[in-house]
Structure 1
Amino acid sequence: MKMSKRNVMLAGASVALIGMLAACSHSDHAENSGPSGDSGSGKKPTISATIYDRGLIAASEGTMENNRWTKWINENGPTNVKFTAVPRTESKQKLNTLFASGSAPDLIFEFDPNIKNPLYEQKQLMPLDDMINQYSTTYKKVLDENPILKQVATKSDGKMYEFGKINEAIPQNIAVIRQDWLDKLKLTAPKTTEELYQVAKAFAEQDPDGNGQKDTYGLNVGPGLLDIFGGGGSYNIENGQLVRTWDGYKFYIDFLKRLYDEGVIDKDYITDNNGAKARQDFLNGKTGIYFVQASSYSLWNRLWVTDYATLKTNAPGADLEMMPYPKSPNGQFINWINNPVQLTAVVNRNAKDPKAVMEYIDFLSKPETGRTLTNGLEGVHWQEGQSGCPNTIDQEKNKTELGYVGQDYDMIFSVTSGGKCSFIASSFNPDKPDEKLAKDKFKESMNIFYSMIDQGAKWPGLTHSEHMPTVPQDLLVDSQNGSTEIGNLVTKAIVGGASYTPDKAISEIQALWTKYNGAKIDAFYQEWYTANKDTALMPEDIFQIVKEQKATQDEILK
């Protein structure tokens, strides 16, 4: 009998916990990954792999294809890896060109399912089941401990085609608020979106910084704001059927339209594509509520250590507090969560040495590899802290020598393999006051997060976007064009003045959806949901993973 997804997840939980506790020991070492793949010749096999290029590497470090970490990988791993850089914002174009020319690397690291799924449909990918069964030790153990990984990696033909990892299930975006402004204006933190509007309006109009000028903003139009209203065009589930809803957009348009018309938000937000101006306004002490991405140690550290210090320099007396997402007319929604079960790599069907590829994946799956490619070298980039976990020695040095690494050289490593030291909170050094504050704020954020889940907050969408299916090729252009035009229309409605009402905007959005074959797209998603609702990763599974990781978080944050 086929186990349900929920039972499979729970079956692996106790095994994963045992593995996690073992991995926490500083003296533990990962098992040998087996044969070197040299077939007795004494020479390492050579494979090829992609690597994202985000434009972050300093000239002194080399290139993404040749630097201190590619050398470390080739010196310490079972294979020689020839890296091909893929511009982060041009993955689709680059990979399509590589496959079309027959020069695609053996191993493709890519997050976007809308890039990988067509490769599967075109039969460009190698099934992984035999590779794993014949050659793997470490990654096979990861699958045994986390059966959900195999479940989501299995395609319609019953075979696995993607490697993946378990991520730390934490909010991707958060909101912070100027508590000193609330105190000065005798206000309390908003619990509803109507209260959010009133507080933001007061921040913009009542001179909270006391300089006698109307030069402050209530909030920034930042990441996560739309999620408060349930996301954009999504689906409700009614009696097992998907029902398209535009309510999230309607309430979002109404909310932002008022703020825009009344000068509560920066009217240049539309052209602030990367949020640089919004961040500068926040740092200058001109923004009362700040929506920001904070899904990694570096981002959390930047907000609560670097940026908070800058804010206090520019606005002495500034006091930041966490702000839970308020309830909207569409319901109470949770922050968008990092994808906890993330598929990250596929193998070119023309790869000539599957054994060597598998041995490299095993190498990347080991705790010591994950630790090095995350924290750097012990004694050079980090030292062991009170908790037994790595603490940064020199932040500026690491910015140059590690800042470009991110997770891109090890997109396979699971936090459950590395134990507590793989979790974000373990990276903060409580001996440093600013990092202790960052850790305390992280704890506060997680407690808010757990409380919202316990109280029934909903996921802002059908499921995580990386677990949604790719629209069929014959509908793909319509889906993309429709989404683009709808996004443009939402912006047009927000800035369009009193005559462009939210109801008018939704009517035009629905007409656009019809124009771009929306009914057929809805039917496709319904068919997918009916066939996969018991095996795909859905919000209740994401919340379950959050709860399973809570014990580790609590141990670190106690």
Structure 2
Amino acid sequence: MSMYKKKMNRFATVVTIAGLVATTMSACTDKDTSTGSTESPGSTSESKEAANQTPPLTKLSYWVELFPDAAAIMKSYGEVTAWKEIEAKTGVQIEFQHPAQGQLGEQFNLMVASNKLPDVVDYGWNSYPGGAQKAIRDKKIVPLNDYLDDAPNLKALFDAHPEWRKMASTDDGNIIGFPFIREDVTQQVFLGPAIRKDWLDKLQLSSPTTIDEWHTVLKAFKEQDPNGNGKADEIPINIPAGELAFAGAFGTPNDYYQDNNTVKYGPIEPGFKNYLTTMNQWYEEGLLDKDFATTDGKMKDAKMTGNQVGATVLFLNGGIGKYMDLMAQTQPEFKIVGTTYPTLNAGEKPVFGYIDNPVTGIFTAITGSNKNVAGTVKFLDYLYSDEGKLTMNFGKEGETYTLVDGQPKYTDAVLKNPDGLPISQAFRKHIMGATSGPFVQDVRLTAQYTTKPEQQEAMKL
């Protein structure tokens, strides 16, 4: 999923532009709307009253990215057990529309340029030209301020956590849409550098912590045949350009960030040139994957499961957990573990780490083409109710979960999928809680999803 990052340094929170915008929620101030106004442009008490008289919602067109792991096993989120159960419980038929894989941004831009939009669009709306506030001013989306009384579940969450409302709003105070909310910090840390522990053990090497130590380990991966096939086919490290885990070691990310209340742009800082120089050295020595600029998800999967890649950057579940599950039968010695974010000097605390916001920058926004705003608000708000939250995170009782002492426990349909799917894809097949959407991610999901010792240790690191 496209996530909005928030990084931390010794002195102040350091954020990428996506994280900065996800927190402040505006790249452009709407001059036609007074700051802090709860009246949204184009919305009046009369229009709200009229909307409340609209017949109950029965159908909803829903535009949303189909995550790559999900796209490998389904054509639409309409196949997911949780969404089927939501449709059955509410009587609302959902027509999912998904952009083509790898064309999210392009197809979003084409869609919003048209005069006819789906009823709701799930997207990082601050990527709209001019930001979410401009999208509101252009009447592409309808802010939720005037409809919170029709969304008591979301309103209660915002009242209990005012910082969540702020993260879901523009600088003008307009609520962009229905957010995906992570209720616990353990759900906000899920990405970082990872390395083949079995390769380290074979070569009697320790997990690297500094850039120099990484260089030593990667050279050993290149030269000492750690995959044991007698071929020089190892790819010591596979990372995209500007990867935070390594650019951050030089004190700068590949993006905007904040340092002591000063916004800076990483690529023009001196440290970024040093980072590029180092990556060039690794590339020339054959340590960095020669296809780093073109490797997509399928290519990475093939290289990882082909026993070629020594190190990369991975998600806890869709990465470490996924590949260990995929390799468990054919190569039981396969082990990949997380590492600390690297530094330049031994013993230093990393300047950058990874933690996402509890409210991510992805919002299911009601569009200006929606003919039943109030009905849509009530439907989406249901997903924040106790029942809606349980369904989105655990699916269908008796099929994908059972209640044990009042607590939901996943069945073998999820944890030991009969189709042999990795647990990350089994979760994709049955629930939305491990993906994204307009609901609260349940901490009880995380406790049953991120279960491998390697995943738990990576989270701590």
- Fold in common (TM above 0.5): yes
Give the corresponding residue for 1:207: 225
CA-CA distance at 1:357 after TM superposition: 1.8
Q: Distance in 2 between matches of 1:196 and 1:108?
A: 42
1:228-243 alignment runs, 5 A limit? 228-229=248-249, 230-235=252-257, 237=259, 240-243=261-264
| Contact 2:64-2:121 within 8 A present in 1 as well | no
Residues 1:335 and 1:39: Cα distance change in structure 2 (over 3 Å): closer
Secondary structure at the aligned position of 1:109 is classed as strand
CA-CA distance at 1:203 after TM superposition: 1.6
Give the corresponding residue for 2:395: 376
Q: Distance in 1 between matches of 2:61 and 2:435?
A: 10
Match of 1:305 among 320, 325, 345: 325
* Residue 177 of structure 2 corresponds to residue 162 of structure 1: yes
Give the corresponding residue for 1:390: 409
- Cα deviation digits, residues 326-363 of structure 1 (max 9, x gap): 21379724443334212412222454433212211221
CA-CA distance at 1:114 after TM superposition: 0.7
Match of 1:218 among 194, 218, 236: 236
- Cα deviation digits, residues 411-447 of structure 1 (max 9, x gap): 12113xx4x314x23236xxxxxxx5x1x22321232
1:323-342 alignment runs, 5 A limit? 323-328=339-344, 332-342=350-360
State the AA in 1 paired with 2:305. L
Q: Distance in 1 between matches of 2:52 and 2:306?
A: 61
Match of 2:168 among 153, 157, 160: 153
| Contact 1:44-1:80 within 8 A present in 2 as well | no
| Contact 1:387-1:426 within 8 A present in 2 as well | no
Structure 2 length normalisation: TM-score? 0.71
CA-CA distance at 1:141 after TM superposition: 1.1
* Residue 376 of structure 2 corresponds to residue 353 of structure 1: no
Q: Which has the higher strand share?
A: 2
- Cα deviation digits, residues 300-350 of structure 1 (max 9, x gap): 53133234x15xx34x64444332122137972444333421241222245
Residues 1:190 and 1:162: Cα distance change in structure 2 (over 3 Å): same
Match of 1:411 among 437, 443, 446: 437
| Contact 1:38-1:45 within 8 A present in 2 as well | no
State the AA in 2 paired with 1:321. V
Give the corresponding residue for 2:288: 265
Give the corresponding residue for 1:461: none
CA-CA distance at 1:69 after TM superposition: 5.6
RMSD: 3.9
Q: Distance in 2 between matches of 1:324 and 1:102?
A: 48
Instruction: Give the share of equivalent positions with the same residue, in percent.
Output: 21
| Contact 1:224-1:291 within 8 A present in 2 as well | no
1:124-523 alignment runs, 5 A limit? 124-133=140-149, 135-167=150-182, 169-221=187-239, 224-229=244-249, 230-235=252-257, 237=259, 240-244=261-265, 245-274=268-297, 276-294=298-316, 297-307=317-327, 309=328, 313-314=330-331, 317-328=333-344, 332-343=350-361, 344-349=363-368, 351-384=370-403, 388-394=407-413, 395-396=417-418, 402-403=428-429, 406=432, 411-415=437-441, 418=442, 420-422=443-445, 424-427=446-449, 438=452, 440-448=453-461
CA-CA distance at 1:369 after TM superposition: 2.0
State the AA in 2 paired with 1:265. L
State the AA in 1 paired with 2:87. N
Secondary structure at the aligned position of 1:188 is classed as coil
| Contact 1:57-1:400 within 8 A present in 2 as well | no
Residues 1:387 and 1:322: Cα distance change in structure 2 (over 3 Å): farther
| Contact 1:204-1:218 within 8 A present in 2 as well | yes
| Contact 2:62-2:96 within 8 A present in 1 as well | yes
Give the corresponding residue for 1:87: 99
State the AA in 1 paired with 2:143. P
Q: Distance in 2 between matches of 1:253 and 1:66?
A: 44
Give the corresponding residue for 2:31: none
Uncovered stretches (5+) of structure 1, i.e. residues with no partner: 1-5, 7-36, 429-435, 449-558
State the AA in 1 paired with 2:175. M
- Cα deviation digits, residues 215-247 of structure 1 (max 9, x gap): 323222256544543322434535x43344434
Structure whose alpha-carbon radius of gyration is higher: 1
Stretch deviating more after TM superposition (392-401 or 185-194): 392-401
Q: Distance in 2 between matches of 1:60 and 1:227?
A: 34
Residues 1:185 and 1:80: Cα distance change in structure 2 (over 3 Å): closer
Match of 1:108 among 121, 130, 134: 121
| Contact 2:395-2:430 within 8 A present in 1 as well | no
Q: Distance in 1 between matches of 2:284 and 2:191?
A: 26
Uncovered stretches (5+) of structure 2, i.e. residues with no partner: 1-12, 14-49
Q: Distance in 2 between matches of 1:59 and 1:320?
A: 23
CA-CA distance at 1:195 after TM superposition: 0.9
Secondary structure at the aligned position of 2:356 is classed as coil
| Contact 1:95-1:104 within 8 A present in 2 as well | no
Residues 1:98 and 1:250: Cα distance change in structure 2 (over 3 Å): closer
| Contact 1:189-1:323 within 8 A present in 2 as well | yes
Q: Distance in 2 between matches of 1:72 and 1:220?
A: 39
1:30-41 alignment runs, 5 A limit? none
Stretch deviating more after TM superposition (47-56 or 138-147): 47-56
Stretch deviating more after TM superposition (199-208 or 166-175): 166-175
| Contact 1:107-1:345 within 8 A present in 2 as well | yes
State the AA in 1 paired with 2:161. N
- Cα deviation digits, residues 60-81 of structure 1 (max 9, x gap): 977556886655333312x634
Residues 1:166 and 1:272: Cα distance change in structure 2 (over 3 Å): same
Residues 1:208 and 1:390: Cα distance change in structure 2 (over 3 Å): same
Give the corresponding residue for 2:3: none
Residues 1:102 and 1:404: Cα distance change in structure 2 (over 3 Å): farther
- Cα deviation digits, residues 104-155 of structure 1 (max 9, x gap): 233322234213624124233323222103x222111111122112112333
Q: Distance in 1 between matches of 2:60 and 2:396?
A: 25
Residues 1:304 and 1:192: Cα distance change in structure 2 (over 3 Å): same
| Contact 1:227-1:335 within 8 A present in 2 as well | no
Number of residue equivalences: 389
CA-CA distance at 1:196 after TM superposition: 0.6
Secondary structure at the aligned position of 1:268 is classed as coil
Q: Which has the higher helix share?
A: 1
Residues 1:243 and 1:156: Cα distance change in structure 2 (over 3 Å): closer
| Contact 1:50-1:83 within 8 A present in 2 as well | yes
CA-CA distance at 1:82 after TM superposition: 4.5
Stretch deviating more after TM superposition (402-411 or 110-119): 402-411
Q: Distance in 2 between matches of 1:421 and 1:148?
A: 23
